[in-house]
Amino acid sequence: MLFTAGLLPSFTYKYAAQNSFRRTIVILFATSRREAACHSLISITLPYLHCMTDQTTYIDTHDDKAKSDRPLKPALLRGWKRVCPNCGSGPILSGYLKVHDTCSVCSEEFYHQRADDGPSYVTILIAGHLLGPMMLIAFEMFRPDPIVLSLVFILFFVALALFLLPRIKGAFIALQWAKRMHGFSGKSGETVAK
């Protein structure tokens, strides 16, 4: 973002926004009537900006967060298997879709997970994209009665959705755990099984 208000000496103010991206605002002072506008702009932005000099080192916390993420692929595979993404042995789900508050083996807390409607949307997306072309192929090849075709594929869709839903919910919880989202910030005695 660049604001210019004149042509004379420049002052650079740099600040880090909450999303860890660095932005630079350069304000050039003018000696004419624009000077008042520059001073009012500085008085508005100065409390929100941190003045940086050439001796100041830049700190970008975005890279530090990426390094602190847990391994994603093993966590997703454990979530797909519906076991704890931390230890790989305790179950995540206590019923069909009910999530345990904590892991029975490693005591990892799951009560703050926020899978919500995501697993159901992804389940419908996957099942619909698999069954749509299959329905078209079956109709073109065998020309069954439309009611028979609909009933067979409705049953197949329901069976596929019931199979996928708990596994995708486990993968959603494991993704949140791996990315340290929604309270999965970790503990001092954290153990990640390979």
pLDDT digits (tens, 9 = 90+) for 8-41: 344 433 333 333 333 333 333 334 444 444 444 4
- N residues, the chain: 194
pLDDT at 192: 54
What token pair was written down for 172? 């959603």
Give the pLDDT of residue 7. 41
- Domain ranges in the chain are 10-61, 69-178
pLDDT, residue 147, reads 96
By CB atoms closer than 10 A (0-12, 13-18, 19+), residue 81 is middle
- For residue 48, is pLDDT > 70? no
pLDDT at 123 > cutoff 60: yes
Q: Burial of 176 by CB count in 10 Å (0-12 exposed, 13-18 middle, 19+ buried)?
A: buried
CA dihedral (111, 112, 113, 115) positive or negative: positive
What is the pTM (predicted TM-score) of this model?
Answer: 0.63
Confidence of residue 104 (pLDDT cuts 50, 70, 90): very high
Task: Encode pLDDT of 50-76 as tens digits.
Answer: 444 444 444 444 445 545 779 999 999
Which residues does 40 contact at the CB level (< 8 Å), separation at least 6?
Answer: none
CA distance 16 to 192: 32
> Which of the four pLDDT bands, split at 50, 70 and 90, describes residue 166?
very high
Higher per-residue pLDDT: 129 or 33: 129
